[in-house]
Amino acid sequence: MSNNLYYLGIDIGGTSTKYGIVDDNGTLVYKNNTSTLPHDTFDSLFETVWNDIKKQRFTIHSIGIGAPNGNYYSGKIENAPNLKWKGEIDVCRIGKKISEHEVSLTNDANAAAIGEKQFGKAKMMKDFVVITLGTGLGSGFYVNNTLLYGSNGMAGEAGHITIFPGGRLCSCGRKGCLEEYVSAKGIKKTVLEFKHEFHDSVLNQYQEERLNPLLVFEAAQQQDKLALKVFDYTAEILALGLTTIINITAPEAIFLLGGISSAGNQLFIPLQRYMEQYALSIFKNKTLILPSGLEPDTAGILGAAALAKGQHTL
């Protein structure tokens, strides 16, 4: 064992919770996951994770948690729509009581931004944004070298920028939100919206439930016209959302993590073209649009560990 410090990062999602032990350099030295669903309380989930970690041969310095609606200021998960624990869950207090270690909390997209800053491509950047593309769309903002929490700890909800007033109904109850167009659920809706124009598309063979961004990507690589249309449309809507973000915070870079961003140039080439078209002239070519420096399946763990590290070394 070295003299390295080790941090436990826990990435809580609606169905699965990933966790791991990360050293000072951002190396993931142990990784595991458990299903979130069977745990009726956060206490039960945290005990499961902690019992596993105790068996490993690493001395944990502190613990970070990234979770939907995780509020850094309050240390509570507040009314997360995709978790079954309702109301406000005091996860920092509960985690500390069980583990006897300091526990920090932030939301999952903020954790990804902290990970990008400490272990990814944003080490030298003061102003950047990480957009996480999964079932929904999350975002974490660094402004002037500090994570943007706003007055109530909940800043950075770019997934709910209104793109089309009166547009697609969002799970938040509002209409026309960015995430209803560019997340996995949004892409599925786009396929369904355009499929009647492309009868010979391979995507028509899939039942609605089975459609996902990976299938669309594979079809696009085969030059399937529906898939190419879906990529073009998604890139255009994403560009509209990103230009709004740039108009407000003028970041040096926006990093895309997971979901359709894994399609690489299939997304980034049309996205760059639409960014050129939609950017305000003073912002043209000022903000880099890049894939994240982290891997989608471990970014949440690294980010949560980076949160723990940041709390104790800054």
Chain contacts with a copy of itself (rule: CB under 8 A): 69, 78-79, 125-127, 141, 143-144, 146, 148-158, 160-165, 172-174, 240, 243-245, 247-252, 278, 280-283, 286-287
Q: In the bound complex, what is the minimum distance in angstroms from residue 251's beta carbon to a copy of itself?
A: 6
The residue among 123, 137, 142 whose CA lies nearest residue 254 is 142
The strand pair at 6-12 and 16-23 is best described as antiparallel
Please identify, using beta-carbon distances, which residue of 17 and 243 lies nearer to a copy of itself. Answer: 243
Query: Among residues 104 and 243, whose Cβ is nearest to a copy of itself?
Result: 243
Closest by CA position to 107, among listed 133, 72, 79 = 72
Nearer to a copy of itself, 105 or 215 (CB): 105
Nearer to a copy of itself, 156 or 259 (CB): 156
Nearer CB in complex with a copy of itself: 119/149: 149
Cβ atoms within 10 A of the Cβ of 210, count?
9
Cα→Cα distances 171→165, 188, 237, Å? 15, 14, 18
Nearer to a copy of itself, 60 or 235 (CB): 235
Least Å from the CB of residue 242 to a copy of itself: 11
Using an 8 Å Cβ cutoff, are 193 and 226 in contact?
A: no
Minimum CB–partner distance for residue 221 and a copy of itself (Å): 28
* Least distance to a copy of itself, CB of residue 129, Å: 9
Place of tokens 């891997």: 295
Task: Give every CB contact of residue 131 below 8 A, 6+ residues apart in sequence.
Answer: 109, 137, 138, 139, 158, 242, 254, 255, 256, 257, 261
Residue 230, judged by CB atoms within 10 A of its CB (0-12, 13-18, 19+), counts as: buried
Per-residue exposure over 110-122, b if at least 16 CB sit within 10 Å of its own CB, e if not = bbbbbbbbbbbbb
> Smaller CB distance to a copy of itself: residue 8 or 111?
111
CB of 184 to a copy of itself, least distance (A): 20
Nearer Cβ to a copy of itself, position 51 or 152? 152
* Strand, helix or coil for residue 131: strand
CB 124, min distance to a copy of itself, A: 12
Q: Cα separations (Å) of 256 from 24, 45, 149, 273?
A: 24, 29, 20, 16
Which one, of 43, 83, 48, 42, lies nearest residue 32 by Cα?
A: 48
Q: How far is the CB of 155 from a copy of itself (least distance, A)?
A: 4
**Smallest distance, Å, CB 257 to a copy of itself?**
18
